[in-house]
A and B are shown apart, each in its own frame.
Chain A
Amino acid sequence: MNKLGNAVFIVVCLTLASGGYYLALTGVWGESSDVERSVRVGSSGGYGGGGRVK
């Protein structure tokens, strides 16, 4: 792999790490949301509704 290939590879690695950090920091996860109230509810394990905003 030439220098450009190595540079692209390094950029991909840094993008992966920073992308993971950004998504973890901004709290993006498998939630259901209600735009009007900006309330987002989600779950893991068990079962149940994603949530309903009154």
Chain B
Amino acid sequence: MRPTARMDGRNYTYYDSGNRQIEFAEGEFNWRPKAGEVSSSVSLASGDLMLTYVQAPSEREIEQTRYVDPEAVYASAGVSPKWRRGIHILQEYKPTAGEALRSVVAGACAVLCFVLSGAFSSNEAQVLKRQEASFQQFPVETAFKVTQPDALVRVLIWSNVNNSWAEFDVELEDPEDEVLFETSRGVEFYQGYDGGSWSEGSTTTTLTFRPTVAGQYTLTFSSPVSQVDWKGGRPANRLRFSVFENVYPTFWLSYAALVLIILAAIPVLRRLLHQRRRWLGSDWEDDE
């Protein structure tokens, strides 16, 4: 753990230490510099202040150094630097203009996306209660009423596959008894132990479609097939399904929220990066 010191209500954290030697000095001093004089020093930093414990041959001092804004110094001399080198340990993070506002706006938009997503999800309505059938009962035909043709309809399908796969044909008739589409759906699920437990696949799948009109639709499952594909497997023999209407693809709002969260976090990331770069020059190693 880095050594610390406390002065005037501030906590200073160890930065570096070493020996220093006066090779050349110019300016005003309250002591007499002597060329070639060697002293040892330990420096600790806190914000824009540094404490340096100096042990010279004849005395022991504690120096306090304050970071001077280079822009002001350059401006006072009427010059502008061509480039600046790295981040100084005493150089505090300066937020850009409007940084907090941008974070708040992006964060608020992300929250709005989550609220809208929740509102969409709460509108989902189950139009067909969970039904279960064994493969011996196939074909299974069931009707359900769609009242919201503007949104999607989703059929949740489950089968008791275990180290096996199952597949079945699905047909949907519209309110005029015309076949709207026919398709197939399958599920496969495998699990085992190989130095640790593992699983792959899923026992569920979905069938999503956009209804053409409101009215009674007829869903038919047929031609079930199941096969064991892994040791210890068991072929599926049951199917369970339920139907929901007023379904919206809320993942779009989730994607938008994710991007907005990243945008809102940029100032925090910049601040962390700045902090990390400040302390790059420290000679402290945590494993010591």
Chain A residues with CB under 8 Å of chain B are 1-3, 5-6, 9-10, 12-14, 16-17, 19-21, 23-25, 27-29, 31, 34, 37-54
Inter-chain contact B202/A43, CB cutoff 8 Å: no
Q: List CB contacts (< 8 Å) of B185-242 with chain A.
A: 185-188, 202, 204-210, 212
Question: What residues on A are CB-neighbors of B167 within 8 Å?
Answer: 48
Inter-chain contact A38/B212, CB cutoff 8 Å: yes
Main secondary structure of the interface of A (DSSP, over half): mixed
Inter-chain contact A24/B180, CB cutoff 8 Å: no
Question: What residues on B are CB-neighbors of A38 within 8 Å?
Answer: 210, 212
Inter-chain contact A31/B210, CB cutoff 8 Å: yes
The distance from the CB of B241 to the nearest CB of chain A, in whole angstroms, is: 12
Residue of A nearest to B248 (CB): A24
Question: What residues on B are CB-neighbors of A34 within 8 Å?
Answer: 181
Give which listed residue, A12, A27, A37, contacts B151 with CB less than 8 A: A27
| Sampled A-B contacts (15; CB under 8 Å) | A1-B97, A1-B102, A3-B98, A6-B102, A9-B98, A13-B260, A16-B256, A24-B120, A24-B251, A25-B248, A39-B180, A45-B206, A46-B157, A48-B205, A53-B181
- C-alpha spacing A20/B182, complex, angstroms: 31
- C-alpha spacing A31/B249, complex, angstroms: 11
Inter-chain contact B181/A24, CB cutoff 8 Å: no
Chain B residues with CB under 8 Å of chain A are 96-99, 101-102, 105-106, 109-110, 112-113, 116-117, 120, 150-152, 157, 167, 170, 178-188, 202, 204-210, 212, 248-257, 259-260, 263
Inter-chain contact A46/B186, CB cutoff 8 Å: yes
Inter-chain contact B259/A48, CB cutoff 8 Å: no
- C-alpha spacing A17/B249, complex, angstroms: 14
Given the known inter-chain contacts A13-B263, A39-B210, A41-B208, please indicate yes or no for A27 contacting B180, CB distance below 8 A.
no
Inter-chain contact A44/B109, CB cutoff 8 Å: no
Given the known inter-chain contacts A13-B106, A27-B152, please indicate yes or no for A48 contacting B186, CB distance below 8 A.
yes
Inter-chain contact B152/A41, CB cutoff 8 Å: no
- Give me the 10 closest cross-chain CB pairs, A-B, nearest first: A46-B205, A20-B256, A29-B249, A48-B185, A23-B252, A6-B98, A51-B183, A17-B109, A20-B253, A46-B187
